[in-house]
A and B are shown apart, each in its own frame.
Chain A
Amino acid sequence: MPLYLNDEQTMLRDTTRDFVAEHAPVSHMRALRDAKDVTGFSRDLWKSFAEMGFTGILIGEDQGGLGLGHVEAGVVLEEIGRNLSPSPFLSTAVAAVEALKGSAQAERWFPGIIAGETVAALAIDEAAKHRGTVAMKAERSGNGFKLSGRKQFVTHGHIADLIIVAARTAGSADDEQGITLFAVDKSAANLTSEAERLADSSLAARLTFDGVEVDADAVIGEVDAGSDPLNRLLRAGRTGASAELLGVGGGAMDLTVNYLKERKQFGATIGSFQALQHRAAHLYSEMEVARAAVLKAAQLLDEGDEKADAAVSVAKAMTALATTLSVQEGVQMHGGIGMTDEYDIGFYMKRARVLAEMFGDANFHADRLALAAGY
C-alpha cells in the first residue's frame, strides 16, 4: 500500500476538516473552558460525531459501524487535534472499541457508542508516568470479581458510562501475564472518581476502586489473558494519540507560519528573516517525518502486520518530539502575544503536553524500541 492517503481517505479528510473546523474550532474549546464546563466536552457535538458516522468508524458494518480502519480514525483525530476539539473520540471510538472488538461485551456497548450516547474511559495508568504496571487487584468473589486499587489520568473518567479497567488476577505488578481487562459500568458501587482539570483545561479523573463488584461477564476476552485486548487498546490509543498530536503540531505550525507572513518588525515581515525561515523550515521537516510515521503505523495496524507494534512506538515518540518543537517554536516566534491567554497558540502547547504524556511519552517509547532491539 503506498504511503499516502488514497482517494476515499482524502475525501474523508476533506469532509472531516470542514466539519470539525465548523463545529468545533478552537473557540469551541475556549468557550467550554470559560464556562468552567464540568463535562469536558459538548454532548451535542458528540451526537453530531455520531450522525457523521465517526463514532462507529472502527466498528464493523455488520455491527452497525463504518467498518473503516486506523488510517481513517487517524484522519479524524488529526482534525480533532488541529482544532483542539474536546471529544471522547479517542478513548471511546478508538481505544475502547479496539479493546471490546470480538468480545461478548461488544454487543452490549457498541450500539450506545455508535449512537453517540455512550462515553468510554480507560483506567490503565496507576502512576504519574505510563509504564504498564498493573497492581490493581481483581479477586474472585461469588459469581464475579471484586476490584481494589487506584487509577489515574483517566480521561472522561468522571462522566464515562463505561470504564475499561486493567486489573491483576495473577502474578505481580510488573508481569505482562496475569492481567484481566474488565468493562465496568459507571453505576458500580464503591467506585469513586475525582475529576481533575489539567493544564489544557481537559478533565481527567483519579478513580478509586474500593472492592467494586463486577459480574464474570464483565471480563473482556479471557481471565488472566487481558494483555491481548489491552495491547490492542494500547496500539490503537497510541496510534490515535499520535494522529491527534500530528494535528496539534500541524495546527500550531500553520498558525505560526501565517503569523510570520503578517507580523512586521524593523520595517519588514518577520517571515523574511533568515533566522526564522530556517527554524520554520526545520520544523516543517520534523512534522513531515512525523506524518510519515503516523500513516505507516496506522497502515501496518490495519494490515495486521507484526511490525505494527514497533511502528506505533516510532509514531508516538516521533509525534511527541515534532509537536513539542512545533508548539515551542510557535510560542517563541509569536513573541509576547504567544504568551497571552487571548491568543490560541498557548492552547496548542498545553494540549501537546497532555497528548505527549498519554499512553507513554517519547522516552517511554524510545526505551521500548531499544528493549525490543536488544539493548
Chain B
Amino acid sequence: MTDLDTFRTETRAWLAANCPPEMREPVRSEKDATWGGRNPDFQPGQKEWMDAMASRGWTVPDWPKAYGGGGLSPAETKILREELAAIKARNPLNSFGISMLGPALLKYGTEEQKLEHLPKIARGEIRWCQGYSEPNAGSDLASLATSAEDKGDYYLVNGQKVWTSYADKADWIFCLVRTDKTNKQGGISFVLFDMASEGVSTKPILLISGYSPFCETFFDNVKVPKANRIHDENKGWDVAKYLLGHEREMISGMGLASTGRNPLIDGAIATVGLDHDGKLADPLLRASIALFEVRAKAFGMMSERFIDELKAGRAHPAQPSMMKYYGTELNKSRYELMMAAGGSDSLEWESERSSGGGAARAWLRTKANSIEGGTSEIQLNIIAKRILDLPSA
C-alpha cells in the first residue's frame, strides 16, 4: 500500500465519521451555503462540518499548515476532493477569503499579514468582501477614484464602491484605492480594513432575480492603518490582477464541475416526456440539449486540461480569460435550456412548488456571469491581445 492509498483510506474513514448527514444533501437554495464570519447564520450541521474540516486545515487543504491550511500535496488534495465528491459532501465553507484574497496574500502578504489573516479565513471566522468596482470604473477598473490620502501611519479613505458582493454581511473588505491621481494603473494600492470601521456604510442593490447579493458601499473618512496595505504603495494593480486570475478560474468552473448526467436532461424528460423510441418528445429541444452537451462535455475536458497545465506550469497566463469567457457563456446557455425545458412551471416566481421561483431566479442570476469578474468582452480583448497577439488600435 502506498502512502497515497493510506491517505485515501484514512480520509474516507474520517469523512464518514465527521461529515454530518445534512451536509450530504444537495444544495437547494442560497441558505445551504456556509459562509461563516462574525455573525454566522448556520443551518443544522453547517457549523459542525465547517469546524471539523477547519480543524484539519481542510477548508484550504493545499495551504501551508502554519496559515491554517492542511499542508497537503497536489496528489493528496486531489484525493480529498474525490472523497468529498464521493459522499456528495457540501462545501464546508464558501469564502472570498479562500478563493480570492488568500492566494493574493500568500503571494504578496508579509509574514505578519499572512499569520494575522490566513488562519481566520481558514477557520471561517472572518467573512471577506471585495471592493473593486466603482460606479464609473467597471470594465475600465483601473480608472477607479476612491481616494486614500496619506496621513502618516494611516490612509484616509473616501469614495464609493459598487457590486460589492455581500458587503452587508462581510466583516472585512479587500479594497482597491487610489494613492496617486497622476498615474492610472500605477497609482492604485491594495488595502484591507474592517467593515465595522467608522465611516463605512452599505446599501443592498435589488437585482432582476429579486435577490440582493450585491451592495453599494460608501467610505466617508475611513481610517485605514498603513500596516493593512498589501504589497507596495501604488503596486495594488499587480495584486488585483493576480487575484482576478483566481476569481476567473473560480467563476469559469461554476455549475460545470459536476460529473454524471446533466440535471437539465432529467428536467426536460420530466416536462416533455420520452417518445416510443426513448427520445425526448420535443425533437428541437432534444437537438438543442444534445449540441449543448457536446460543448459542455468538451469544456469539462478543457477544464481538466487547464488544471493539469496550470499545475505543470504550462498554461498561458491569459488562459483563465478563455476559461472564464467560455464557461460563463456556456452556463448561460445551460440555464436558457433549463427554462425552455421547464416551460411554464419554471416561470413561477413565488410558489412553493417552484421553491420560490428557484429556476427562474437561478436563470436570471447566470446573466451576471458574463459581466462580473470582467465581462466577456474584456476577456475577449485579453485573449486577442495577449494570446493571439493582435495589434492595439
Contact = CB atoms under 8 A, between A and B. Distances in A.
> Binding site of A, secondary structure by majority: helix, strand, loop or mixed?
helix
B391 A272 contact: yes
A373 B383 contact: no
A303 interface: no
Contacts of B325: 281-282, 285
A35 interface: no
B304 A296 contact: yes
B302 interface: yes
Contact of B286 (A3, A257, A273, A375): A375
Interface in B266-304: 268-269, 274, 278-280, 286-287, 289-291, 293-295, 297-299, 301-302, 304
Interface residues on A, range: 35 or more
Contacts, number: 143
Interface in A24-59: none
Contacts of A271: 390-391
Given A3-B308, A284-B388, A293-B301, A277 B265 contact: no
Contacts of A314: 294, 297-298, 301
A2 B308 contact: yes
B309 interface: yes
A285 B295 CA distance: 11
Contact of B291 (A269, A278, A296, A366): A366
A104 interface: no
A3 B304 contact: yes
Nearest to A5: B314
A280 interface: yes
A371 B279 contact: yes
B293 A281 contact: no
A38 to B, nearest CB: 38
Given A284-B322, A296-B301, A367-B290, A375 B393 contact: no
Given A4-B312, A365-B294, A375-B268, A280 B301 contact: no
A295 B306 CA distance: 13
B393 A273 contact: yes
B274 A375 contact: yes
A3 B303 CA distance: 10
B141 interface: no
Given A365-B294, A373-B293, A281 B302 contact: no
B269 to A, nearest CB: 6
Contacts of B274: 375
A348 B12 CA distance: 52
A284 B278 contact: no
Given A268-B393, A292-B305, A369-B294, A375 B265 contact: yes
A4 B309 CA distance: 7
B313 to A, nearest CB: 11
B293 A369 contact: yes
Contacts of A374: 261, 265, 269, 278
A374 B381 CA distance: 40
A162 to B, nearest CB: 33
A272 B305 contact: no
Nearest to A316: B294
B137 interface: no
> Binding site of B, secondary structure by majority: helix, strand, loop or mixed?
helix
Contact of B384 (A281, A318, A366, A375): A281
B381 A370 contact: no
B381 A289 contact: no
B377 interface: yes
A280 B388 contact: yes
Given A3-B305, A284-B383, A284-B387, A363 B287 contact: yes
B298 A318 contact: yes
Nearest to A317: B294
B243 interface: no
Given A261-B390, A281-B388, A362-B294, A370 B380 contact: no
A281 B380 contact: yes
Interface string A351-366: 0000000000011011
Contact of B393 (A274, A289, A317): A274
Interface in B350-393: 377, 379-381, 383-385, 387-393
B193 interface: no
B108 interface: no
B280 A375 contact: yes
Interface string B30-57: 0000000000000000000000000000
A247 B294 CA distance: 19
B154 interface: no
Interface string A310-322: 1100110110010
B298 A289 contact: yes
A4 B314 contact: yes
Contacts of B384: 277-278, 280-281
A336 B309 CA distance: 39
A363 B286 CA distance: 11
A136 to B, nearest CB: 25
B326 interface: yes
Nearest to A295: B305
B261 A373 contact: yes
Given A4-B309, A369-B294, 17 more contacts: A3-B309, A257-B388, A274-B381, A278-B380, A281-B322, A284-B388, A285-B325, A292-B305, A318-B298, A366-B290, A366-B293, A369-B297, A370-B279, A375-B274, A375-B279, A375-B280, A375-B286
7 contacts: A272-B391, A274-B381, A289-B295, A292-B304, A293-B302, A315-B298, A318-B295
Interface of A: 2-4, 257, 260-261, 268-269, 271-274, 277-278, 280-282, 284-285, 288-293, 295-296, 310-311, 314-315, 317-318, 321, 362-363, 365-367, 369-371, 373-375
Interface of B: 261-262, 265, 268-269, 274, 278-280, 286-287, 289-291, 293-295, 297-299, 301-302, 304-305, 308-309, 311-312, 314, 322, 325-326, 377, 379-381, 383-385, 387-393
What are the 3 tightest A-B residue pairs by CB atom distance, in nearest-first order? Answer: A277-B384, A281-B383, A366-B290
